[in-house]
Amino acid sequence: MNSAATRTGAQILWESLLEEGVRTVFGYPGGAILPAYDALLDYPIRHVLVRHEQGATHMADGFARATGEVGVAVATSGPGATNMVTGIATAMLDSSPILCVTGQVGSRLIGTDAFQETDVTGVTLPITKHNYLVTEVEDIAPALHEAMYVARSGRPGPVLVDITKDAQQASTDGRWDRADVDLPGYRPHPDPPAAELRRAARLVNEARRPVILAGHGILISGAMAAVRDLAERGQIPVAMTLLGIGSLPADHPLNMGMMGMHGESWVNRAIQEADLLLAFGMRFDDRVTGRLATYAPKARKVHIDIDPAEFNKNVRVDVALAGDLDAVLARLGPLVAARDRSPWLGRIAGFRGENAVRDIQHLPDSGRLYAAHVIHDIWRITEGRAIVTTDVGQHQMWEAQYYRHNAPRSLITSGGLGTMGFALPAGIGAKVARPDDEVWVIAGDGGFQMTMCELATIAQERLKLNIAIINNGYLGMVRQWQEFFYDRRYAGTPLLSPDFAALARAFGLGGEVVTRRDQVDDAVQRARADERTVVLEFQVEQEDTVYPMVPTGARLQDMIRRPKPEAAPVGAK
Amino acid sequence: MNDGSTGGASATIAARAYAVWVEDRPGVLNRVTSLFRRRGFNIESLSVGRARAPGVSRMTIVVLCDANTSRRLVEQLSRLVNVLRCDELTGTPSIRHELAMFKVSAAPEERTQVIQLATATGARIVDVALESVVVEATASPGRIDGLAEVLRPYGILEQVRTGLVSMARSAASVMTEPAPRQLPRRVTSAAEPDDGTGSV
Ligand SMILES: Cc1cc2nc3c(=O)[nH]c(=O)nc-3n(C[C@H](O)[C@H](O)[C@H](O)COP(=O)(O)OP(=O)(O)OC[C@H]3O[C@@H](n4cnc5c(N)ncnc54)[C@H](O)[C@@H]3O)c2cc1C
Ligand SMILES: Cc1ncc(C[n+]2csc(CCOP(=O)(O)OP(=O)(O)O)c2C)c(N)n1
Ligand SMILES: [Mg+2]
């Protein structure tokens, strides 16, 4: 846009974001960003006032993961910007496109240890996909357009634009050039050579025991249909990473469930027995592979990823196809022959065998509450249609196991960084992005307390979410590791919590405590029916454990299983 | 089929050289070195200067690593938005030179000897003082090591080496230098001063 009128940098900031389609930002003001805030009132952009800048970044992240669009967070210099660090690192590890706009002290003060001066581009350099320090008004628009492009293209990620206060205040006659973004060093969309595609297709067609590893890249690329077509034509079973959940409906007969540390045992066995792994937009995280030297020893590997730096990083692959997954599958798909692989599918059904009796059914039906029950019930009542954000810990794994997601972008969770405190602000971001969808925040008693100040944001913005706190009185996942690997010495993990229901009411929200299984249904229904956000505190078994589990560094097939109920009563205190 | 892990038989560690073209912008060197630090790549040497195209700098980086690490390094570097291009030079016939200066202790009676030694190896004398001379050489790192060896008995008071700079031989490949970006046209006007309200 070439506008003739004179604009301040602050105005250019908002106009550039509007041009990029931004309608909502999550932010918190302060001195160095004040000129931008002053100008904000004149633009049709919704500003969600957060209670902590970390919350703003997680909200932007939740917004981005719910929609695929760039989420925007705004903060002031110094402490405002450093509070964003955790959220930026979270988005970086999970390839989530967010834009952080921070105010910086006046350009003449840079380097003088001025009040609230922090070298924010320096601090965030290793945890952003790219960042910018803008000191001149004319550079604001180009930097923002570039930043939005970099954030969402290729392998998405967080981008930060730090704008000095004087650049926000200065004016230009407005004929700033909205040239197309020209980044000669940035090649976000590689395309694999045809010969490699043919090699990959040959491996698929020759394989008798193939498995698709479905990752987050499927959702990012929007390759859900292409993956389903390929799986169905080749009758290839599909295993999900934590972040890939939702890329193929949980109900699909070829969807085996989650792989890895807390994945299903039959999925891990299938991977260990496979003769071909098709890794689609996943990065072989160590929670996925277990011990590398013994990972899928019989399998050839085909890896499709948009980021060639992921190839051969953890796992050596036989064919690496660099490109956008949907585009690559559009070329690969026609080369893959229809096959009947019922012997292999039958074998996997055999692995399931007795394990198919899900862990939840080994729990004593004593009327006491287990987290798995709670999540299973929420799934049943919401018919698997909610957007669920989770925090980090045991409840996160139970959610992945017991909430069966059929829709893409319906599970939003911090996988790579495992950031406690993520669920509530991410849920807010998701609700703002998709107001017509039902959003459930599922958090532990520990993680919820890290960002619970954002209940005030919910109240102020009059948002309707549903919040389930799985209160087990412990930093449960850490307690579980202490149980297994530290002789049950529970150092620093027992946790005293406030009365969450009363707390919610103090914020003007609804709150309820649930202690027995037979109360879950009604409480969940009441929460959904309430026009306010309701916090449900589920007081669950304190010393329950997530099974199965591959201990770090163990072989994938060596999972710790839940002891049979008669042998060791679960949750006995 | 493979052992599932990185490394394996091809894991010979060697000094590998890379030519890296980057946009000449503030902080780019920091981005490059930060990446090496964060990913645990060990820089043997790094030199940087202007490339032919304006706005472009060219680095020569030497790293001790195996072939798989090398591949990852090139991918990681290429991922940086300001990196225009990154080539490994190890397999390419190329000229690899380093510039070194040695300040050698040389009392008047030894001076001629030092000067003769230096010039015989192709080095130059670029400064002569009463008790010392400065020897300068441009050669492969190995030959510079050799020069240092022969000078050492006289006493090296000070030395500086630039680290490797490298260029592929013309016959090997003509590297088309990457072009810098077209910066958006700016229309300047006088910036207003800070309103002086400071921060809250
Ligand atoms: C307590 C805890 C327990 C966990 N346990 C497990 C577990 O049991 N099982 C498990 O799976 N995970 C588990 N995780 C999560 C794990 O740490 C990783 O976050 C997760 O495995 C990463 O999944 P991913 O590789 O699919 O996604 P990401 O890490 O997001 O990687 C996505 C990949 O897709 C690529 N990509 C992006 N866009 C495209 C595109 N357009 N086309 C092609 N490729 C693209 C990216 O380059 C990247 O390589 C756990 C995490 C926590 C906190
Ligand atoms: C910010 C942060 N600090 C510490 C950890 C380490 N950690 C991982 S899981 C966990 C326990 C979480 O406890 P809680 O929120 O109660 O969930 P639970 O495991 O009990 O379901 C901790 C402390 C983390 N992931 N993030
Ligand atoms: Mg807990």
Question: Chain-wide mean pLDDT for chain A?
Answer: 94
Output the residue whose Cα is nearest ligand 1's atom 22: A243
**Distance of residue B11 Cα from the nearest chain A Cα, in angstroms:** 13
Architecture in CATH of A194-354 = 3-Layer(aba) Sandwich (3.40)
Q: How far apart are CA A278 and CA A140, in angstroms?
A: 43
- A480 Cα nearest atom in ligand 2: 19
| pLDDT tens column, A530-561 | 999 999 999 999 999 999 999 888 899 888 88
Domains annotated for chain B, with CATH where assigned, are 10-92 (3.30.70.260), 95-165 (3.30.70.1150)
Each residue of A357-397: pLDDT tens digit? 566 666 777 778 999 999 999 999 999 999 999 999 999 99
CA-to-CA separations, B95 to B64, B120, B163, in angstroms, rounded: 19, 21, 13
So what's the pLDDT on residue A359? Answer: 64
Q: Of A57, A399, A420, A472, which is best to mutate to test ligand 2, by the most ligand atoms within 8 angstroms of its C-beta?
A: A420
Residue A213 has pLDDT above 90, yes or no: yes
Q: Decide the pairing of beta strands A319-322 and A300-305.
A: parallel
The residue of chain B with its CA nearest to that of A104 is B199
Position B59 confidence tier, pLDDT thresholds 50, 70, 90 = very high
Taking the Cβ of residue B141 and every Cβ of chain A, the question of whether any pair is shorter than 8 Å is answered with: no
Q: State residue B65's pLDDT score.
A: 93
**How far is B81 from A157, CA to CA, in rounded Å?**
12
8 Å CB contact of A183 and B181: yes
Q: Is the confidence at residue A62, as pLDDT, over 60?
A: yes
Q: How far is B47 from chain A (nearest CA, A)?
A: 20
Predicted local distance difference test score (pLDDT) of residue A44: 98
The reply to whether ligand 1 has any atom less than 6 angstroms from the CB of A287 is: yes
Say if CB A496 and CB A474 are below 8 A apart.
no
Its CATH architecture, for the domain A360-539, is 3-Layer(aba) Sandwich (3.40)
Q: Which residue has the higher pLDDT, B174 or A190?
A: A190
Q: What is the pLDDT of residue A60?
A: 99
Terminal C-alpha separation, chain A: 67
The answer to whether the CB of A213 is under 6 A from ligand 1 is: no
Task: Note the pLDDT tens digit of each residue in A160-205.
Answer: 999 999 999 999 986 555 667 888 889 888 899 999 999 999 999 9
Max intra-chain CA distance, chain B:
71
From 3.30.565.60, 3.90.70.10, 3.40.50.970, 3.40.50.300, which CATH number describes the A7-180 domain? 3.40.50.970
Q: Give the pLDDT of residue A174.
A: 63
The residues, ordered by sequence, that sit 6+ positions from A455 with a Cβ below 8 Å of its Cβ are A424, A503, A504, A507, A509, A533, A535
Cα–ligand 1 centroid distance for A281 (angstroms)? 8
- CA atoms of A208 and A236, how far apart (whole Å): 9
pLDDT value for A553: 85
Residue A418's pLDDT band, with cuts at 50, 70 and 90, is very high
Four-residue CA torsion sign, A111, A115, A120, A123: positive
- The answer to whether domain A194-354 and domain A360-539 are alike in fold is yes
User: Is the pLDDT reported for residue A7 higher than 80?
Assistant: yes
The residue nearest atom 1 of ligand 2, judged by CA position, is: A420
* Nearest alpha carbon to residue B91 among B111, B116, B74: B74
User: Cα(A495) to centroid of ligand 2, in Å?
Assistant: 11
Q: Which residue has the tokens 């589990």?
A: A549
Task: Please give the pLDDT value at position B106.
Answer: 93
Q: Which ligand is nearest to the CA of A288?
A: 1
Q: What's the whole-number mean pLDDT along residues A444-451?
A: 98
Q: Which residue, A109, A340, A64, A345, is CA-closest to A216?
A: A64
Does the beta-carbon distance from B22 to A185 stay under 8 Å? yes
Residue B196 sits at the chain A interface (C-beta within 8 Å): no
CB contact under 8 A, A312 and B68: yes
Residues 6+ apart with CB under 8 A from A482: A488, A489, A490, A491, A493
Q: Whose CA is nearest to atom 36 of ligand 1?
A: A217
State phi, psi for A35 to the nearest 5 degrees.
-60, -40
Ligand 3 ion: residues within 5 Å (CB): A 444-446, 472, 476
B19 burial via Cβ count (<10 Å: 0-12, 13-18, 19+): buried
**Model confidence pLDDT, tens digit, residues A113-165:** 999 999 999 999 999 999 999 999 999 999 999 999 999 999 999 999 999 99
* Cα–Cα separations (whole angstroms), residue A161 to A14, A49, A181: 13, 19, 16
Atom of ligand 2 nearest to the CA of A371: 21
Pairing of strands B56-65, A411-413: unpaired
Confidence grade of residue B173 (pLDDT, cut at 50, 70, 90): low
Cα separation, A404 vs A246, in Å, equals 8
What is the structure's pLDDT at B182? 61
Distance CA B135, CA B172 (A): 32
User: Which of A313, A319, A557 best tests the B interface by mutation, with the highest count of B CBs <10 A?
Assistant: A313
Structural domain spans, chain A? 7-180, 194-354, 360-539
| Ligand 2 atom at shortest distance from the alpha carbon of A86 | 1
**Unique residue bearing structure tokens 């225009």:** B84
pLDDT of residue A572: 38
> Is A202 at the interface with chain B, CB within 8 A?
no
- Is residue B28 less than 8 Å (CB to CB) from chain A? no
pLDDT of residue B90: 82
Q: Provide the pLDDT for residue B174.
A: 53
- Residue A104 CA to ligand 1 centre (angstroms): 34
In the prediction, which pLDDT does B92 show?
A: 85
Strand B14-23 vs strand B83-88: parallel, antiparallel, or unpaired?
antiparallel
Average pLDDT over residues A263-272: 95
The two structure tokens encoding residue A52 = 């902590």
| Both structure tokens of B160 | 């500086």
Q: What is the whole-number distance in angstroms between the Cα of residue A475 and the centre of ligand 2?
A: 6
Give pLDDT, residue A182: 83
State the distance from the centre of ligand 1 to the C-alpha of A217, rounded, in angstroms.
Answer: 8
Q: Given a cut of 90, is residue A569 above it in pLDDT? A: no
Query: Would you state the pLDDT for residue A178?
Result: 60
Band the pLDDT of A2: cuts 50, 70, 90. Answer: very low
- Please tell me which residue, A471 or A188, carries the higher pLDDT value: A471
Handedness of CA A105, A110, A114, A116 (dihedral sign): positive
- pLDDT for res A355: 67
CA torsion, ordered A332, A337, A338, A343, to nearest 10 deg: -110
Backbone angles phi, psi at A117, to 5 degrees: -95, 125
Quick: pLDDT tens for A222-241: 999 999 999 999 999 999 99
* Residue-level pLDDT at A366: 78
Q: Which SS3 state, helix, strand or coil, does residue A428 take?
A: helix
- What sign has the CA pseudo-torsion B63, B66, B70, B73? negative
